């Protein structure tokens, strides 16, 4: 019997340490435990990992996702036939609807147990546009004054999918043709609360856990008070110093940590096909 191959991975971080590229792996095959531990450690350290040159089938994408953790639940979007845990983010050249994911958000933060990780694999990358921007919510928190941190510490943010997927949400009002099948639901209008500042279960770092798309307000505050606090935080979080801009290449896998990041999908590729496949990994209740 052949000895298990030991793989030394090459991690190249962005200058700020937020975001990194990982080479030296073949994700079409299961990773040895030691190598998988290195990947998970790099993911916790850098928040966003890019794995270039990974020509993954849907089955291989699913298998690697399960090495990171069990699948998360992906509501309000119809999954791929035969692959209930894979979403195809597809936009045809003639589509005029706003590109999917166009507002700042942390994936499914309106769930009681939001996903820890999202994985996105590029199949068809347009020649222009389509970057994904990420915000370092941990560093954004750490640069706040001690007085502001103390004020935010006990607060609970109100999350909901209603603005996007609710009965009066963006997709319910949409008139343009869209290839992706969005499921508008009254369930999306429900609300729940999470700590406005959450602690990462691996690193112990605190991060702001709010977003313009899914955060409606702050528990116990008036709408004007919530708007003032959240408006300040959203402006603070999305400053250039906290942003990593990811430029896609074909057959690239991206994995990010929803517990300490927000992201936004840019458009700018009208007239071109773009196809991505997405999975999520279950997380834990924010605390």
Residues labelled as active-site residues: 105, 107, 263, 278
Asked if 255 and 93 count as a contact pair (C-beta separation under 8 A), the reply is no
Which one, of 156, 98, 141, 136, lies nearest residue 260 by Cα?
A: 136
State how far the Cα of 153 lies from the Cα of 149, in Å rounded to an integer: 6
Asked if 119 and 245 count as a contact pair (C-beta separation under 8 A), the reply is no
Supply the DSSP string of 35-89, one letter for each residue: HHHHHHHHHHHHSEEEE-S----HHHHHHHHHHH-SB----SB--BTTBTT-EEE
Strand partners, 88: 277
Which residues are within 8 A (CB) of 173 and not within 5 positions of it... i.e. 6 or more apart?
A: none
Asked if 121 and 248 count as a contact pair (C-beta separation under 8 A), the reply is no
171 three-state secondary structure: coil
Asked if 10 and 236 count as a contact pair (C-beta separation under 8 A), the reply is no
Instruction: State the chain's maximal CA–CA distance in angstroms.
Output: 67
- Enter the tokens of residue 89: 């983010």
State how far the Cα of 240 lies from the Cα of 236, in Å rounded to an integer: 9
Neighbours of 283 (CB within 10 A): 20
């Amino acid at each position: 019997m052949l000895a298990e191959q030991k793989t030394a991975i090459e991690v190249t971080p962005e200058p700020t340490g937020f975001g990194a590229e990982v080479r030296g792996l073949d994700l079409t095959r299961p990773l040895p435990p030691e190598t998988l531990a290195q990947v998970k450690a790099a993911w916790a350290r850098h928040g966003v990992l890019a794995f270039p040159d990974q020509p993954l089938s849907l089955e291989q994408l699913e298998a690697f996702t399960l090495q990171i953790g069990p699948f998360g639940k992906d509501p309000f979007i119809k999954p791929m036939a035969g692959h209930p845990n894979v979403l195809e983010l597809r936009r045809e050249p003639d589509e005029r609807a706003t590109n999917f994911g166009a507002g700042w958000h942390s994936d499914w933060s309106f769930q009681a147990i939001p996903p820890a990780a999202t994985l996105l694999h590029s199949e068809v990358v347009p020649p222009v546009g389509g970057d994904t921007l990420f915000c370092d919510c941990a560093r954004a928190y750490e640069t706040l004054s001690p007085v502001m941190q103390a004020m935010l510490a006990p607060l609970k943010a109100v999350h909901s999918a209603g603005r996007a997927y609710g009965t009066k949400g963006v997709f319910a009002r949409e008139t343009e043709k869209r290839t992706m099948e969005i499921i508008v639901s009254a369930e999306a209008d429900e609300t729940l609360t999470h700590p406005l500042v959450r602690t990462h279960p691996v690193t112990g770092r605190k991060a702001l856990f709010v977003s313009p798309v899914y955060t409606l307000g702050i528990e116990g505050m008036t709408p004007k008070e919530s708007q003032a606090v959240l408006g300040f935080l959203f402006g603070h979080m999305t400053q250039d110093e906290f942003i990593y801009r990811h430029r896609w290449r074909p057959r690239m896998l991206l994995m990010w940590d929803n517990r300490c990041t927000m992201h936004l999908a840019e458009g700018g590729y009208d007239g071109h096909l773009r196809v991505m496949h997405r999975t999520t990994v279950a997380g834990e209740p924010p605390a």
